[in-house]
């Protein structure tokens, strides 16, 4: 019977959970206070982890947050090695996930279209 999730997916979920906890409780950089790690993509050989983050303020500038994450990557990687029992800790590469801002923009466009449609029906 095949497994429901591959080792890659299970390890990715564990790494993502651990990284979120480390960011929340153990980093002191103020740029990383309003950050959430959304998803992770591990390479097939588990040597590289692409971590996608979003900010609680979707209109905020992601550049300082990205810089803070890159500066903290060594600390996060070393702590990750202690928390998750794997032989080689993957290299962490961060990228901004702007899906929340895009969803907000699309929602406002839909609202504007509905408002203009209801005004046209009244005339």
Task: Give the pTM.
Answer: 0.77
The residues, ordered by sequence, that sit 6+ positions from 33 with a Cβ below 8 Å of its Cβ are none
**Domains observed in the chain:** 7-98 (3.30.300.20)
Residue 60 pLDDT: 83
- Map residue 62 onto helix, strand or coil: helix
Which of the listed ranges 4-13, 27-36, 69-78 does the model predict with the highest average pLDDT?
69-78
Residue 120 pLDDT: 65
Mean pLDDT of the chain: 87
Q: Identify whether the C-beta of residue 67 lies closer than 8 Å to the C-beta of residue 55.
A: no
% of the chain with per-residue pLDDT over 70: 91
Helix (H), strand (E) counts: the chain: 3, 3
**What is the C-alpha separation between 61 and 21, in angstroms, rounded?**
23
Residue 121 pLDDT: 64
Closest by CA position to 40, among listed 63, 70, 14 = 14
Evaluate if residue 79 carries a pLDDT over 60: yes
Q: Count the Cβ atoms, other than its own, within 10 Å of residue 51.
A: 24
Q: Identify whether the C-beta of residue 58 lies closer than 8 Å to the C-beta of residue 13.
A: no
């Amino acid at each position: 019977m095949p497994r429901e999730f591959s080792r890659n997916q299970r390890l990715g979920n564990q790494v993502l959970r651990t990284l979120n906890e480390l960011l929340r409780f153990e980093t002191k950089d103020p740029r990383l206070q309003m950050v959430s790690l959304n998803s992770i993509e591990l390479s097939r050989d588990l040597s590289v982890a692409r971590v996608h983050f979003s900010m609680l303020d979707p209109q905020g500038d992601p550049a300082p947050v990205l810089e803070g994450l890159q500066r903290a990557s060594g600390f996060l990687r070393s702590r990750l090695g202690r928390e998750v029992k794997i032989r080689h800790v993957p290299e962490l590469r961060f990228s901004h996930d702007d899906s929340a801002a895009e969803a907000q923009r699309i929602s406002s466009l839909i609202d504007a279209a509905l408002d203009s449609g209801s005004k046209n029906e009244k005339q």
